[in-house]
Amino acid sequence: MKVAVIILLIWLIAACSGSNPVSTSKETVPDSLIYPDEIHFKNIRQLTFGGDNAEAYWSYDGRYLVFQRTSLKDGIPCDQIFVGKVPRKKNEPFTFRRVSTGKGRTTCAFFTKDGKHIIYASTHLAGDSCPPLPDRSKYGNRYIWPLYDSYDIFMADLNGNIVKRLTHSPGYDAEATLSPDGKKMIYTSIKNGDLDLYIMNLETGEEKQITNELGYDGGAWFSPDGKKIVWRASRPKTEQEIKEYKELLADHLVAPGKMEVWVANADGTQARQVTSLGQANWAPVFMPDSKRIIFASNHEYKRGFPFNMYIIHEDGTGLKKISRDNGFDAFPMFSPDGKRIVFCSNRNNGGTRDTNIFIADWVE
């Protein structure tokens, strides 16, 4: 979600701490393609080189990736959606092309089951230019995300032609993914006045709200077996927390510094909190066994940086750190056959602010 904003704010947080964004733990290691103790990654490969590349997700047949990209040097001032074919041979290049309109800002793309279309959120109906970033100085230089009310979710073919508008409500509609059978879309909307999850039948357009607690619910995924969902959520409890959350929401903003991982049945019933780690625990997805969850977190670092990826059982046990970059590792997704993982990272960026896409064989 909004990767350029995320990366920029992460670096600003580090700058405010008076140091470079490098881990101060014993695990500090040089910039690298793969780090010591990353025992679950094998045959890792970097696919993109330069710019902010994130939310790279597999097609249902495992042959393609769809992702969002910002690159000022390439004339992409804010996130647009691209599709690329996953290389099958060692020396085969990763080539990609834009499939969004090139207008406004886009986010959160996902392939449809037929492999011929994608869904993604875009602000292009409100204008051709990138919507402005929020003035953080008005909010004490806090770590905040903009909730552009011009975001709606669209379906497009792989030539970039929009074939259907999926959401029509005023306000923020984004963060969509699809069920394993490709029939249902889960997404975040502010249509009821709060940030909640909805599930839509793609064929009929019928939908149901499945969260209703005060707080941000977003970034939801179905489990591979289709029986459960996982997402990130904030739950303001004290009067001050509730007041701050509502004030930001009124300004079309959310502060994601305190989020935990939640799971529920696929219809939203039996919702329960998985993590209680503090700080930002987000980008969760189920692993191929539909029992464990992989997610990104900064809970080990009081200053909020770096972010690494972790595995946890859905009952909250068995927490295990699996990535070791001293910057940013997030947006993991396993290939449909469960044999490979794609994720986005600051690693091997030569000390720049670039975030790139990596794939690797997964080793249990």
In tens, the pLDDT along 334-350 reads 999 999 999 999 999 99
Long-range contacts of 295-299 (CB under 8 A, 24+ apart): 295/232, 295/261, 295/332, 296/329, 296/330, 296/331, 296/332
Q: Using omega within 30 degrees of 0 as the cis cutoff, is the peptide bond preceding 306 cis?
A: yes
pTM: 0.92
In tens, the pLDDT along 198-212 reads 999 999 999 999 999
Question: Is pLDDT above 50 for 292?
Answer: yes
Question: Is pLDDT above 90 for 364?
Answer: yes
- Residue 263's CB is within 10 A of a number of other CB atoms, namely 20
In the chain, the domains with their CATH numbers are: 3-362 (2.120.10.30)
SS3 of 315, please?
coil
> Quick one: average pLDDT of 172-182?
98
Phi, psi of 274 (to 5 degrees): -95, -50
The whole-angstrom separation of Cα 326 and Cα 184 is 37
Question: Is pLDDT above 50 for 40?
Answer: yes
1 pLDDT band, cuts 50/70/90, is low
Q: Which two tokens stand for residue 327?
A: 């910057």
Give the model's pLDDT for residue 141: 85
163 burial level (CB within 10 Å; 0-12, 13-18, 19+) = exposed
Give the model's pLDDT for residue 87: 97
- At residue 54, what is the residue type? A
Residue labelled with tokens 């790279």: 56
Give the model's pLDDT for residue 214: 98
Q: What is the DSSP string of 106-140?
A: EEEEEE-TTSSEEEEEE-GGG-SSPPPPP-GGGGT
The whole-angstrom separation of Cα 49 and Cα 357 is 8
Give the model's pLDDT for residue 132: 96
Question: On the CB side of 347, how many CA atoms lie within 13 Å of its CA?
Answer: 26
Which residues fall within 8 angstroms of residue 293, CB to CB, at 6 or more apart? 230, 261, 263, 274, 284, 285, 286, 287, 311, 312, 313, 314
Which residues fall within 8 angstroms of residue 30, CB to CB, at 6 or more apart? none
Alpha helices in the chain (DSSP H): 3-16, 239-250
> Quick one: average pLDDT of 302-329?
95
Give the model's pLDDT for residue 226: 98
142 pLDDT band, cuts 50/70/90, is confident
29 pLDDT band, cuts 50/70/90, is low
> Quick one: average pLDDT of 111-136?
97
Give the model's pLDDT for residue 140: 87
> Quick one: average pLDDT of 315-344?
97
User: Distance of CA 181 to CAs 135, 187, 222, 223, 233, Å?
Assistant: 41, 16, 10, 11, 25
Give the model's pLDDT for residue 304: 85
Question: Is pLDDT above 70 for 27?
Answer: no
